[in-house]
Amino acid sequence: MKYHDSHADSRAKMQSAIQLLDTHNLTYTPVNYSVAYEYVSGENPELIQLIDDYINVNKVDAFVLESLYNEFIVNKTPQDESNVYKLNGAIDSLHTSCETSSEVLQALDESVQSTVDEHSTETQRLVVELKQSQAEMMAFVKEAQLQAHTIRNELESAKIEAITDPLTQLLNRQALNKMFDSYRSDSGDNELSAAMVDIDYFKKFNDDYGHLIGDVILRRIAKLFRDVIDTSGEVFRYGGEEFVILIPNIEPSEAYRILDDIRTRVEKLRFVSAKTKERLPKLTISAGVTQYVYGEPLESLISRADEALYQAKRQGRNRIIDLALQD
């Protein structure tokens, strides 16, 4: 996003952005400030609506702002990607043309070497010069090809980073939006299960033992999720200690079994502080599971899974509620 604010306007927006961060006890990092400034500028209705939704449920945190930063602020446009691939294709074509011209010049050189007439010496000289120019062109093209391929690889890495949560290495909300569209196009009624998973009392755990230990625990639990789900579906970090799991082509009873298996495994995990060797309290998860209704948007599916999650919490936590099995 480009801004053309006056000094007075930018100062006012800066104060509003800082006030927003203060209200939600967020640090003034470049990422947090960028998203806050974008929000108070009023130029991005979609971002504003998402932040308002998070504010309404009191879930604005650094993870949410980082996800929004990757989705709305980072400048990675489809046109840029298209141009990179076009450049690679053009350079590859030029490389092929150079190889073809090299073969033609080699054939011409052999022909000249076998021909003896009054023009052969001059012809040989011209062929040598052409071959030298062609060799220089080939070296230039190879270097350009290497650089273009490097740019393409960096673009692919950037695309992966943009949809990956840096802490847990799970997919993030941006990836969830993209993959849901793919699942939705392939799924019929009740062929896609969605689960909203929350680590019980994790905010208190962080308060008691610190965010560094909390981050270690999050990574370990995220790895357990990923190992259990494996290739049958996808796991996404949705925000803080909340996760979304999508499993296509599965019956409700089987989806419930998988989530309950995850719940049991998490309950059996044991944690010890590396610094104090103190045994930490065990953690549990609650989850709400629901089934995709053909044609519905992601927001509706997540909202229903979230409703089931809160049922699980109201019933005492450390349990799975599957709405489809209650019907």
Catalytic residues: 241
Tell me the C-alpha to C-alpha distance, in Å, between residue 70 and each of 17, 63, 151, 295: 18, 11, 20, 27
Q: How far apart are CA 319 and CA 327, in angstroms?
A: 18
Tokens 């995850």 found at: 262
Among residues 53, 47, 57, 59, which one has the least CA distance to residue 17? Answer: 47
154 within 8 A of 76, measured Cβ to Cβ: no
Q: How far apart are CA 219 and CA 241, in angstroms?
A: 11
194 within 8 A of 305, measured Cβ to Cβ: yes
Query: In this structure, what token pair is assigned to residue 215?
Result: 């981050």
